[in-house]
Amino acid sequence: MTISAFAAARPRALTSRSAGRPQNGFALWALLVLFALAPLPLASARPFLWALWASYTGLVAVVFLVWQLRSGNPLRVSPLDFKSPTFLVLLTLAALILQLLPIAPFPIVSAEGATLVSAQVSVAPGQTLLMLTRQLTYALVAFLVLQVAASDRRRPFLLHGLIAIALAYAAYGLVALRMGDTILGLPKWAYSGSITGSFVNRNSFATFLGFGAILTLSHLCALVRRQAQRHPDDGLITGLLSSLVLYSAGYLFLLLIVIGTQSRMGLFATLAGSGVVILITLLSVRRLGLVLLVAPVALATLVGLFWLIGGGLLERIEWQGFGSDSRILLYQQVMDLIALRPWTGFGGGTFEVAFPLVHQLPLTPDVTWKLAHNSYLALWAELGLVAGSFLILAFGYAAVRLIVGLLRGTGSWAPQVAALAAIVQIAIHSTVDFSLEIPANTLMFIAIVTTGLANCVGVRSDGRLR
């Protein structure tokens, strides 16, 4: 879709064939408010904000469902269209509930052999309840996004809204760095000299910006793909050049700010996701000349961005490489924690409470490890090897479903490519960090992936998405 075509579609977004579903328009605007505000207060990585957004999302869902029932229309997309991930998410929620129930005494054995007993599986029921609240919130957001994204008029509005949100926070991050290096006007207590925006952690902010960059690049490549598939006699798509310039500028700006975060894996994961988008585009258009043009231009652009703002990141790579001895020691001890309760885990959200059971030298005792810095190990430590794998399998299924959708040519191309690339990005970054344990990131990720999945449910006889 070109910029001009998108602008022309906006006034009709709530009319035409979408006019019979005003509840979906309500859900669209309510979701955009959530996605826009969640990153602002420290990326919503605080218990009070978890409860706030849970209440907000629950209220929106109730209004939507009542409106939906009164309309008499079927849902645009049913969660049952995705039985496997829906079932896996429900199993995860059930596992969290079971961890809260006082079923029987559960022993807690430390690495030194000391034994304690808890009434529930969870060693910190309050933290597990908060994790259950967050997961319910994410499930409701996914459900609402499915309804919005199935509309071929509301979907681009939602995606361009996400791009605008990412660009706005990127711009704020740059301004905050230049105007005193603060977080929301307060002195930083970590990561001085790095762009963190309204986030505390630079790696998490890099993930958030990376989602926006991948989404922007997907729209850029969708235009290139559409033009490449046109007959030469048809000329250029209306507004092609202006759209290419705008999308390119947006992508490069977001990539520039990712470099400015000085997050090594944040940049690598963003480039990996971008590589997925470019690879799928090149396979789709099958133009050798385009490949020979894109490769040197992409390399020159990356070098230029590093020259502009990448000095700090290059210094970190030179001094520390891409590894960390303390991180390796941490992972070894997290695996020791998993071995203490491989099947039940210690309770959702309880890593900070449970990790002292195994924390020992040579891992420095001067640091309190609140998070595992690896989302896979965190899930297995908190939920056990079985229940902790459910969400991982759900996103693995999503990736396969997206690939099948792209091979079949079902639905809109750009959302599916963006969703697949975002899964690759977060799958890589989650091996060394906790980006998906930050609500603002998880909400953006769910929005992108669910929008892609909403385009994989097939096409009706009238040509519209089911």
The pTM (predicted TM-score) of the whole model is: 0.88
The total of structural domains in the chain comes to 1
Determine, yes or no, domain membership for 338.
Answer: no
Determine, yes or no, domain membership for 357.
Answer: no
Range of the structural domain that residue 71 is part of: 3-9+17-325+368-454
Query: What's the CA gap between 456 and 459, in Å, rounded?
Result: 9
- Given a contact cutoff of 8 angstroms between Cβ atoms, the answer to whether 41 and 49 are in contact is yes
Instruction: Give the CA distances from residue 140 to residues 46, 52, 95, 253, 447, in Å, rounded to whole numbers and listed in that order.
Output: 20, 14, 18, 32, 11
Determine, yes or no, domain membership for 330.
Answer: no
Q: In this structure, what token pair is assigned to residue 191?
A: 């990561």
**Please, what is the Cα angle at 232 between 228 and 233, to 5 degrees?**
140
Q: How many CB atoms lie within 10 A of CB 66?
A: 11
Determine, yes or no, domain membership for 359.
Answer: no
Query: What's the CA gap between 32 and 9, in Å, rounded?
Result: 18
Determine, yes or no, domain membership for 238.
Answer: yes
At 465, phi and psi to the nearest 5? -65, 145
Determine, yes or no, domain membership for 347.
Answer: no
Determine, yes or no, domain membership for 27.
Answer: yes
Output the tens digit of pLDDT for each of the chain's 466 residues: 444 443 444 433 333 344 468 999 999 999 999 999 999 999 999 999 999 999 999 999 999 999 999 988 889 888 988 999 999 999 999 999 999 998 867 776 655 555 666 778 999 999 999 999 999 999 999 999 999 999 889 999 999 999 999 999 999 999 999 999 999 989 998 899 999 999 999 999 999 999 999 999 999 999 888 888 776 666 677 778 889 889 999 999 999 999 999 998 899 999 999 999 988 998 888 655 555 555 566 656 655 655 555 455 554 444 454 455 678 899 999 999 999 999 999 999 999 999 988 888 888 777 778 899 999 999 999 999 999 999 999 999 999 999 999 998 888 899 999 999 999 999 999 999 999 999 999 999 999 999 999 988 754 333 344 4
Could you tell me if residue 235 is left (phi over 0), alpha (psi between -120 and 50 degrees) or otherwise beta?
A: left
Determine, yes or no, domain membership for 342.
Answer: no
